[in-house]
Structure 1
């Protein structure tokens, strides 16, 4: 699959320009489009997005690193894109056409036109698609007409909009991504791959729909409901912020732990313990193991105090009543689900009955008799389901819970038992661990006492300072986790209050049932999002490992490990984490490996189109990335570069992989209007000569 043609008419500084690209063949898979800054390189990438995805491109343009107007949006972007000369000459149409070849014989031509008034304001647009077989085009199909939708076709045959930023992006976005913590990088990438952006957009639209529908019905204490919702949303946001702080702190703690391990190696190699370096290292590592066990012990104590113990303050009667109610509600929803599943069969049965021609009914039934028969059928069908079984809940009290949440609550009630012995064991273990840590500390101090030139003492002090930082970060994490646990409990209570009040409101009008369905779908989406990550993390880690080892010039990397929460580690051949200096180049290599890994996991063999491809990389990393892009000879790579990135030298080094080049010329035609044209089979090397 490759892009064989991009045509721009009255788009930005292009009056009319056609870029044609050959099929990747015989190792030639790279296309170079060179231009100085401001000459129209980025316009090619923007045109590709707008032609393929229209208005939907705006969100993805931002994710791909391209500038958009978040306030005024799509119309303003188009009006700025309309060519200044065309507007001055009274023309009214801007056009972008992209041709994608799936093979030599089959291609898809996508054309999008935008129409403008004489003052330059955008009025309308149309998108058409033609299938081309052996250079013979079919009749065009219009997007949104006769059941045809361009977005569906792109999902099936090319690149869906939500993963386009993995294939078409600005290299500056890689730099932006690289400046984030690696947890945020991985989460952001996985969300794009799994379509979380679309799910969140759907959730927001459902929320807006619910709010708009509520405005049209009779209100029942809506001011109190609105206040409850605001409080709930504020606490949910605060809970998310704390969760983010915990992720960042854990990332920081891992870095400190890696630095601690590295410093420990230096201490032992510097003669820690007066020649008994192995003993010194073992004691320090043993102390760290006990400290980790002590932290786990304290977490177990906190879990009992904040989780299970409060339930023991409630009477056995209350707990049994809660359990019985939850079980009865589960049986009710199971019965209701079975009833709803069979409901469509009633109409099938009625239709089958009416279609029977024998035995003949003589005389034919009158209208009154037919109506009476249908009424009896309805009554008989209803008897199959009513009344509900005796063991179902007569009233749904916990309406804020979904059936899976009710099941989880019942499982939790089975696990809340806590005995005096369990608490005593934890306290005893806490005392023993503390004593053992103190003993090991004294032994370590004795070994540290032998030092001739002060080097060991300085390193040991650094080690202690680093341990204090780790303990401080760990305490911050524990404090944040306690805050989050408290907020989670508070949010559950507030959500219950909100759901009860909203149910009263929704039940006050038939229109509320539609809102209720929308809300159920939205809650399913919100529950679904965090469950998606484990589906792809292993596959992503494997793909990232392959790419990273090609890009990095450090050969000690064995693999990249990613956990379900987005935490990543670069592991050496011994299986232990490797700590690299977090230089700009190293971060960008990791981010590039992430984007390339996501593209691999998507399973789509689409072209790569990259603006500002090499950014702030040093010459070694530049060489590795170019080598990576040329390693897959079947994948087309279109690079939009200025003269300081892929210059004459780099062009010569990859010339055997270059299938086509263009050099952009730019002319100022007055009134702040520029004109860009592209010279085929030219590049900066010729300008240098």
Structure 2
């Protein structure tokens, strides 16, 4: 199994729709790790709960559920700022019918729902049969009992590390993972079979008259043939009634009956349209009462604007001309007092005369002033020409188009009413349709009654056949039951021996794997030589190179945690199940050397897909660079919790 994508929509702190790519990179350099960074309370636990919930629904062992009912848990899991539906969608790859396919498991609900809605897609095609049997299917693929051995958090590892004997749920998961429960289950099933056979022998009844049963069966078959002939006639009547009803409906529509039945609705529609048209006309009258009529004299307004600008320039030139001439005379008088050559003085005088000619030209406009406009008047005229009139013309066009659309719709509705049937014809058409509909309903009822009678006869024939077979086979079954009971005791003893040998074989292999994993993770490789596992309670015992036991209390807290991880790793390797591993808060109490070994040796090799959810103090910058140097990270995300809005956003990249 490979998890490909997780979609969270309004789930817990994840508001809106957030799509997370979980695909490991399986190129030339395998990169199995998908790394998530998030502070405490940022949504890491909710992320793990989403995977469990997608797989198991009501049976999911979610960390935040506690003693809540499933409906209360679903309501609690809805994002508190969301009004829409909550959705969890998990896509993963798996083999189905010897082909690699993509499953897409979707669960949706909203606050107040008693349960979620499950949908299963296989290669983007809905699979209703798989949806109905999903609990059984996922139980074969990833049994709920062993899921915590692949989807676990640091707290579980800490708890397992401190216990001498694994808790009952872990023991059951180990037995399931190693296949040790099969022999026990076979023994229980065999005992159930033996009890059933004993009851069959004890409750054996007297054989009935087989000939009487055969006579009854023949009569039932004859009744069935007669009923089939009658059903064929009812089918023809039903088909004819359907056709008559169809023709009556077509005639009703073609003769205007449908329009006549909607006459009052059409009339109300026309009245509403006329009211809308009057509203638009009133709006047009209001536009005409404003300055819209000025649009008719736009050229005159533009000419007035141009004349006003020229007159304004003339007034400004007239005001400044005398001032400039006086200034020029004063300037020349001052220059003459300075020690400047006559040639230079002439040049300055010529320059001033040339500048004054431009000013004097404005004192002789082509058209003499007659408007006497000021700057405020010109500004208002510019506003009218550039903004007010264009906006009014645009609004005029919009309302004219809308008024035209309303008129067209009124005309169409009038034509429809004109095509409607008269009240007398409409009454006849309606009566014909009702009669045809009543005949069709009667024929349908007769047909369904005949069909039920057929099914009853077929069920009676089936029961009679089963009765006949049962009596014919009972003598043979009696002998077989006696043989099964006699052989059951031998099989039970064989199963006990098989279970003992299977347990020894599996645990011997598990001991080798756990020892290898533990020594591989330890930085003190000579500390432990062998790990032994008790066949009854799965207690772990440690031995040194001399074969002497090592008390577990001699291990540090970090070494105990590594032992628990080695145990889980060994179980995964022995089970040969190709399942992804997801770990929340993976480096709880480890010192730097143990962290180094776990980051370097366990995470890249634990599985083909490893999802890590860590804070910035667990997988810090040193550990992050260590994973980067191994090129083991396929994707990295940061779960950013926004305190202002109380929601978590999934972003690309890690803390560093």
Scaled by the length of structure 2, the TM-score of the pair is: 0.50
Instruction: Point out the structure with max Rg over C-alpha.
Output: 2
Scaled by the length of structure 1, the TM-score of the pair is: 0.48
